[in-house]
Amino acid sequence: MKPVKKYIVMALYILSVVVYLGCNSGGRNNRLNTCFSIEQAEPEPCFDADAKGTTSVVIDKTVDEVIAEQEAMGGFIGELPFTEIIKEDFFSGPIPPELEDCLSVYVESELVVNSEEDWDLFRESCWFSQFDLADVDFSAQSVLSVIQGSIGVETDIVAVLEFSSKIVVIVSDQEFSELPPSVHAGPFHIVFISNTDIPFDFIRVKEVTE
């Protein structure tokens, strides 16, 4: 083999090894893809910060009371339908080694995803890459995701209420008075609705399940 060809072959081989190692170590400078976490949005966020408004927590009312209270407010138009993508309650038992670092950034959060690019980031992220998340038509739809922290056992998007200037998402957080043994991470609920250009406010209603 001529020297020039030899060096070209060696260079291509080294490049292919670098690319292979990068893909199989998580890529993006070996940092965890935790784009689902609003606290540690690395390597980059996978949600539209402008689409999300406020998040409030209610601890002294039931879900039905909160919904009735919201529907009595000015500007209320009606309840919007939503379609479930996936729902998980909690995770127990031994944790696979490759997911241990993911759990350290698993936090309570609410996300609005409005583009295919962001949805792909979400689906490739550290925790959610293990689930088969469906394709979404973002020309007509938006994704809403609610994630619970390690103390939660059930979380559900129960209602999506349309107002003239905002969308209010009612979330039920059912917390057990005693956690099941060996619970390692909280639940999440992901749905899609028809897209809109007005912001989403979230109300998390905390209730204890005996």
Question: How confident is residue 202, by pLDDT bands cut at 50, 70 and 90?
Answer: very high
pLDDT cut 70: percent of the chain above it: 69
For 172-189, what is the mean pLDDT? 73
Least confident of 9-18, 84-93, 109-118: 9-18
Q: Which residue would you say has higher pLDDT here, 75 or 153? A: 75
pLDDT per residue as tens digits for the range 63-112: 999 999 999 999 999 999 999 999 987 666 677 777 777 766 677 889 89
For 138-154, what is the mean pLDDT? 84
107 domain residue, yes or no: yes
**Tokens matching residue 109:** 């959060």
CB 34 within 8 A of CB 42: yes
Radius of gyration of the chain (CA): 21
24 domain residue, yes or no: no
162 domain residue, yes or no: yes
Predicted confidence at residue 83, as pLDDT, reads 97
Q: What does pLDDT average to over the chain?
A: 78
Predicted confidence at residue 193, as pLDDT, reads 96
At residue 171's C-alpha, the angle toward residues 165 and 174, to 5°, is 165
* Distance separating alpha carbons of residues 133 and 86, to the nearest angstrom: 7
The tally of domains found in the chain comes to 1
* Distance separating alpha carbons of residues 192 and 89, to the nearest angstrom: 18
CB 131 within 8 A of CB 102: no
* Distance separating alpha carbons of residues 180 and 90, to the nearest angstrom: 9
pLDDT cut 90: percent of the chain above it: 41
**Tokens matching residue 64:** 């039905």
**Tokens matching residue 38:** 């609003």
Predicted confidence at residue 28, as pLDDT, reads 37
Least confident of 4-8, 61-65, 100-104, 138-142: 4-8
98 domain residue, yes or no: yes
Q: Which residues are registered as beta bridge partners of 191?
A: 84, 144
**Tokens matching residue 89:** 């309650």
66 domain residue, yes or no: yes
**Tokens matching residue 18:** 């670098």
Domain range spanning residue 123?
A: 47-209
* Distance separating alpha carbons of residues 188 and 135, to the nearest angstrom: 18
Range among 6-10, 30-34, 127-131, 143-147 with highest mean pLDDT value: 143-147
Q: Which residue would you say has higher pLDDT here, 155 or 2? A: 155
* Distance separating alpha carbons of residues 21 and 142, to the nearest angstrom: 34
188 domain residue, yes or no: yes
* Distance separating alpha carbons of residues 196 and 209, to the nearest angstrom: 34
Phi then psi for 14, rounded to 5 degrees?
A: -60, -40
Least confident of 123-127, 176-180, 196-200: 176-180
8 domain residue, yes or no: no
2 domain residue, yes or no: no
